[in-house]
Amino acid sequence: MTIRALHVASELYPLLKTGGLADVAGALPPALIERGADVRVLLPGFPAVLAGLTDMKEVARIGQRFGAAHVTLEQGKLGANGLIVYVIRADSLYERAGNPYLDAEHVPYGDNGQRFALLGWVAAQLAQQLDPAWTPHIVHAHDWHAGLAPAYLKAAERAQGRALANTVFTIHNLAYQGVFPAQLFDQLELPPDFFDMHGVEFYGQLSFLKAGLYYSDRITTVSPTYSREIQTIAQGGGLDALLRTRTHDLSGILNGVDYTVWNPSTDALLPDHYTSTRLSGKNACKAALQKRFGLAQQSDALLFGVVSRLTEQKGLDLLLAATPEIVRRGGQLVVFGTGDPAIEHGLQRVAQSHPESVAVELGFDEGLAHAIVAGSDVIAVPSRFEPCGLTQLYALAYGSLPLVHCVGGLADTVVDASLENLADDLTTGFVFNHFDPHSLALAIRRAFALYGRRSEWKATMRRAMRQDFGWGASADRYLTLYRELAP
């Protein structure tokens, strides 16, 4: 039997991206299709989504829903690979410029509850033949935005007295929980008893994420270590008890890398190309990066790169405190991203004091992100917590050794340059175990020490570039999960 799976998400690369969720939604469905599954994606009709699809056609007229007067379901294709994408057309809810979740003042839209309730509701309708030509066996919902899909399906099954699609819910980041005031529940058209501790209620409010965790048939998250961490009080975000009761339904499946996009031998966004056996092009990428950011053109300076949201979650406050140590040892630092104003200003002050060693640019641009990953010697991902992390996987592919905190997917993917690991030819980066300045400083020292031994550094670069974190193994595990659930 060919398994039909509907992925439900709020963003998808290359149409719309604010974080790693878009990369997963863009790469996992094609990997599943390659393995014989019939996979489609459902997205809200944001302007960037509508503009990026071809062959658009109407599938169904839905009418008035969640405050939107005219809702239709349309279908288009992604030009790059022909992936079929369903789009919810509800212009009063989705036709807004810029960030899909926040207004011009970076405040969440007041109607986000209704905007993403519609996403979950339409997903459940697709499992009830809203498109007569295609009905999924599996509805795979991603993060809080799609969290109501399993709830709507369970409600429909109860009302109709029959089984519909089974559901998988993937947590990309438990910190974002989609919490809304309790009075929104009256607008959701769910059975009254769903507003309960054993349901969508969350400390007197309602949580879309909790709905996904409670009502889905299976739960996944994006790395094995993170699946264990979120069952603890420290990292469970108030949901650890629920996750512990569902521990047998919860699995950690590591995210993958789309090596057609992230490959230094073919990457069109780089000034030069290189491979693990011909590394000279990496030197050209480093020189171009130093020039682009006005740093001293020193090929032997150890260059640390950061491409990240500039927030405490990402550990950028800790890195800011360690920056003087990098400069004192003759290193350089390039930081690219946006986030907490205090961290932005702190980094900018250091850059003003050391313009030949430290450069900071606020914003996001995919091309510059690739250039920094390729041109840096070390990519720093010092996150307090990190469900999976994709940046360190991109860094490995580009021979830029990751410097990471030993949490979540970072712990699962990077091997520290300890003496034992160096002796056993296992090292792929630098890992610090405790989230404190001393532990980070020791990891930075290990980076400088290894950089001083150039033949060992090159051997480690080559080993990093040979790591395979492609989507193949992960897609196989998801397919096994779907087969367990399919009717």
Whether pLDDT at 415 is above 90: yes
Distance CA 162, CA 350 (A): 62
Confidence of residue 28 (pLDDT cuts 50, 70, 90): very high
pLDDT at 428: 98
The pTM of the whole model exceeds 0.85: yes
pLDDT at 105: 86
β-bridge mates for residue 401, sequence order: 378
Whether pLDDT at 106 is above 90: no
pLDDT tens for residues 63-82?
Answer: 999 999 999 999 999 988 99
Whether pLDDT at 407 is above 90: yes
pLDDT at 19: 83
Q: Which helix (H) or strand (E) holds 413?
A: helix 408-413
β-bridge mates for residue 332, sequence order: 303
pLDDT tens for residues 33-45?
Answer: 999 999 999 999 9
β-bridge mates for residue 72, sequence order: 61, 89
Confidence of residue 258 (pLDDT cuts 50, 70, 90): confident
Distance CA 416, CA 450 (A): 11
Fold observed for domain 280-468: Rossmann fold (3.40.50)
Tell me the average pLDDT across 340-369. 94
Whether pLDDT at 265 is above 90: yes
Tell me the average pLDDT across 385-394. 94
Number of H helices, E strands in the chain: 18, 18
State the residue for tokens 């104003």.
Answer: 341
Q: Would you call 255 helix, strand, or coil by DSSP?
A: coil
Structure tokens at 286: 């480093």
pLDDT at 139: 98
Tell me the average pLDDT of the chain.
96
- HEC letters along 197-234: CCCCEECCEEEHHHHHHHHCCEEEECCHHHHHHCCCCC
CA count, 13 A, side-chain hemisphere, 113: 16
pLDDT at 480: 96
Confidence of residue 424 (pLDDT cuts 50, 70, 90): very high
Structure tokens at 131: 């498109």
pLDDT tens for residues 293-337?
Answer: 999 999 999 999 999 999 998 999 999 999 999 999 999 999 999
Whether pLDDT at 18 is above 90: no
Contact 55, 28 (CB under 8 A): no
pLDDT at 219: 98
Contacts by 93-100 with C-beta closer than 8 Å and gap 24+? 93/44, 93/66, 93/67, 93/68, 93/118, 94/44, 94/45, 94/46, 94/47, 95/45, 95/46, 95/47, 96/46, 96/47, 97/47, 99/18, 100/10, 100/11, 100/16, 100/18, 100/44, 100/46
pLDDT at 267: 97
Whether pLDDT at 172 is above 90: yes
Of 95, 81, 104, give the one whose Cα is nearest residue 49: 95
State the residue for tokens 């020039």.
Answer: 291
Structure tokens at 51: 């503009």
Of 99, 97, 94, 44, give the one whose Cα is nearest residue 73: 44
Contact 200, 230 (CB under 8 A): no
Confidence of residue 487 (pLDDT cuts 50, 70, 90): confident
Confidence of residue 486 (pLDDT cuts 50, 70, 90): confident
Tell me the average pLDDT across 100-129. 95
Tell me the average pLDDT across 46-55. 96
User: Which CATH number describes the domain made up of 4-256+472-485?
Assistant: 3.40.50.2000
pLDDT tens for residues 194-220?
Answer: 999 999 999 999 999 999 999 999 999
Taking each helix axis as running N to C, give the angle between helix 280-292 and helix 366-375, from 0 to 180 degrees, rounded to the nearest 10: 120
Whether pLDDT at 104 is above 90: no
Least confident of 17-21, 156-160, 176-180, 320-324: 17-21
- Can you say whether the dihedral through the CA atoms of 450, 455, 461, 467 is positive or negative? negative
* Residue extent(s) of CATH 3.40.50.2000 domains in the chain: 4-256+472-485, 280-468
Of 381, 245, 265, 224, give the one whose Cα is nearest residue 318: 381
Of 12, 69, 17, 77, give the one whose Cα is nearest residue 43: 12
